[in-house]
Amino acid sequence: MTDQTAASAPLAAIILAAGKGTRMKSDLHKVLHPLAGRPMLMHLLDSLSTAGVARQVVIVGASGEQVEAAVQDRGVAIAWQQEQLGTAHAALQARDALADFDGIAIVCFGDTPLLAAGTVARLAARLQAEDAPAVAVLGFRPADPAAYGRVIAAADGTMERIVEYKDASPEERAVTLCNSGVTAVRTADLWRLLAAVGNDNAAGEYYLPDVVGLAIAEGRRAVVIETGADEVAGINSRAELAGVEAAWQAARRVRAMAEGATLIAPETVWFAHDTVVGRDVTIEPHVFFGPGVRVADGATIHGFSHIEGAEVGPGAEVGPYARLRPGAVLGAKSKVGNFVEIKKATLGEGAKANHLTYLGDAEIGAGSNIGAGTITCNYDGFFKYRTVIGAGAFIGSNSALVAPVTIGDGAIVGAGSVVTSDVEADALALVRAERQTKPGWAARFRERAEALKARKVAR
Q: Which residues are catalytic?
A: 355
Q: Provide CB contacts within 8 A for 7, sequence distance 6+.
A: none
Indicate the residue type of 409: D
Q: Provide CB contacts within 8 A for 11, sequence distance 6+.
A: 4, 51, 52, 53, 54, 55, 103, 104, 105, 106, 120, 124
Tell me the C-alpha distance between 393 and 414, whole Å.
11
Tell me the C-alpha distance between 199 and 189, whole Å.
20
Tell me the C-alpha distance between 420 and 401, whole Å.
7
Question: Please, what sign has the CA dihedral across residues 101, 107, 110, 116?
Answer: negative
Question: Please, what sign has the CA dihedral across residues 437, 439, 441, 446?
Answer: positive
Tell me the C-alpha distance between 61 and 161, whole Å.
30
Asked if 55 and 13 count as a contact pair (C-beta separation under 8 A), the reply is yes
Tell me the C-alpha distance between 59 and 41, whole Å.
12
Q: Provide CB contacts within 8 A for 44, sequence distance 6+.
A: 15, 108, 110, 112, 113, 115
Task: Rounding to the nearest 10 degrees, give the CA dihedral for residues 199, 201, 207, 211.
Answer: -80
